[in-house]
Amino acid sequence: MVMSRCWCCQQPQKESIEHIFVTSPTTYKVWNLFMGAAGISVQLIQLKQIIRHWWYAHCCPKLKPLFQAVPAIITWELWKRRNAGKHGGSVSPNMVIHEINRTLHQLARVGYAWIPNIPLLWPDMIQYFEGYKPILITTRVTWQLPFHGWYKSNTDGASKGNPGPSSLGFCVRDDEGDVVYPRAVDLGVTTNVVAEAKAILQGLEYCVEHDLHPLILETDSLMMKKNDVYIKGSSREGSKLTRSQKGTISKPGLCFANPA
């Protein structure tokens, strides 16, 4: 009987799925390193058992998708190493470990694009995510009624990932503070700035179409504030604003007075 010999060991052994992916010395070392850091302990006998342990391992929600990807990343690098050996090349165990770290780091960066300074190495990455606390800064914001006879449109746009899945919203209220019209729109994949700008635009368009003016537009967009975006009205209503009123309403970043 002809038995194929493995390409992964210095003293070739019988090649099998279990040998390449579970029991060869290099494979053993790689699994132990990554499982040790993750606190997973499983006897290295069967591949599907290892995969199951990674899949159901207890970890913080941020690590879950990474844990579930680990078996595919490790087996892929081991398979590449085996093929390099078969075709006359050689890949050191340290190189395999390096490539796995690199892929996991890239996966974390793509998955959590808004989180800075994700560590390069797997054990550090685990510590980092286990201890990760989003920085929350709270500012008290009070909403003020528009002037008598005026309307106010509050707008907001957000992007998860920037660029990423985005949406906009605006809400128009009258001078009693009652809601006249609210809208929320899914924008698909775009950026924060586009979402903020479209929120302002749609709010504005709605109010123009429905004669809801004079109007104050309020946005929380820093970009819109920085660029000092103003849409100036030129009508009688607009010119009725006193100097102090103009000062007050230009603060939120955008002022719109009577488009007619």
Residue ranges that bind Zn ion, judged by CB under 5 A = 6, 8-9, 24
Nearer to Zn ion, 96 or 172 (CB): 96
- Contact in structure between 42 and 53 (CB atoms under 8 Å): yes
* 14 Cβ neighbours under 8 A, 6+ residues apart: 3, 4, 5, 6
- Comparing CB distances to Zn ion, the nearer of 9 and 57 is 9
Query: Considering beta carbons, is residue 12 or 165 the nearer one to Zn ion?
Result: 12
Q: Could you tell me if 22 and 50 are in contact, meaning their C-beta atoms sit under 8 angstroms apart?
A: yes
In the complex, least distance from residue 9 CB atom to Zn ion, rounded to whole angstroms:
3
Long-range contacts of 21-26 (CB under 8 A, 24+ apart): 21/47, 21/75, 21/78, 21/79, 22/46, 22/47, 22/50, 26/78, 26/81, 26/93, 26/96
Nearest approach in angstroms of CB 106 to Zn ion is 28
Biggest alpha carbon–alpha carbon distance for the chain? 100
Nearest to Zn ion of 26, 159 (CB atom) = 26
Minimum CB separation of residue 33 from Zn ion in Å reads 18
Q: How far is the CB of 59 from Zn ion (least distance, A)?
A: 31
What does the alpha-carbon distance between residue 64 and residue 48 come to, in Å, rounded to a whole number? Answer: 18
The distance of closest approach from Cβ of residue 25 to Zn ion in the complex, given in angstroms and rounded to an integer, is 8
CB of 50 to Zn ion, least distance (A): 17
CA dihedral 217, 219, 224, 228 (to 10 degrees): 50
Please work out, in degrees rounded to the nearest 5, the angle formed at the alpha carbon of residue 164 by the alpha carbons of 98 and 223.
115
- If the CB atoms of residues 87 and 140 are measured against Zn ion, the closer one turns out to be 87
User: How many angstroms from the chain centroid is the CA of residue 202?
Assistant: 25
Q: Which is nearer to Zn ion, 8 or 22 (CB)?
A: 8
Q: Backbone phi, then psi, for 175, in 5-degree steps?
A: -75, -5
